[in-house]
Amino acid sequence: MQDTTDRPYHHGDLRRALIDTAMAMLHEDKGWQFTLREVARRAGVSHAAPYKHFPDKASLLAEMALLGFDRLHKAMTTAKPNRPHSWRDEFLAVGQAYVDFGTSNPGLYRLMFSAEAGNARDVHLSERALAPLGVVIALLERGQAEGLLRQRVVRGRAAACWAQVHGITMLTMEGLFQLEKVGPNPLDAALATLLEGLEN
Structural domain range at position 22: 7-55
Helix axis angle for 154-173 and 87-104, nearest 10°, is: 40
Give the residue among 172, 175, 174 at the shortest CA–CA distance from 190: 172
Average confidence (pLDDT) over 56-79:
96
Number of H-type helices and E-type strands within the chain: 10, 0
Average confidence (pLDDT) over 169-175:
93
pLDDT tens digits, residue range 85-114? 899 999 999 999 999 999 999 999 999 999
Residues 79 and 35 in one domain: no
Residues 65 and 15 in one domain: no
Does 200 have pLDDT greater than 90?
no
Please give the pLDDT value at position 4.
42
Please give the pLDDT value at position 118.
66
Residue 142 included in any domain: yes
Give the residue among 78, 76, 2 at the shortest CA–CA distance from 44: 2
Average pLDDT, the chain: 90
Residues 46 and 106 in one domain: no
Does 165 have pLDDT greater than 90?
yes
Residues 188 and 89 in one domain: yes
Residues 28 and 72 in one domain: no
Residues 109 and 11 in one domain: no
Residue 88 included in any domain: yes
CATH code, 30: 1.10.10
Most confident of 13-17, 51-55, 69-73: 69-73
Please give the pLDDT value at position 177.
86
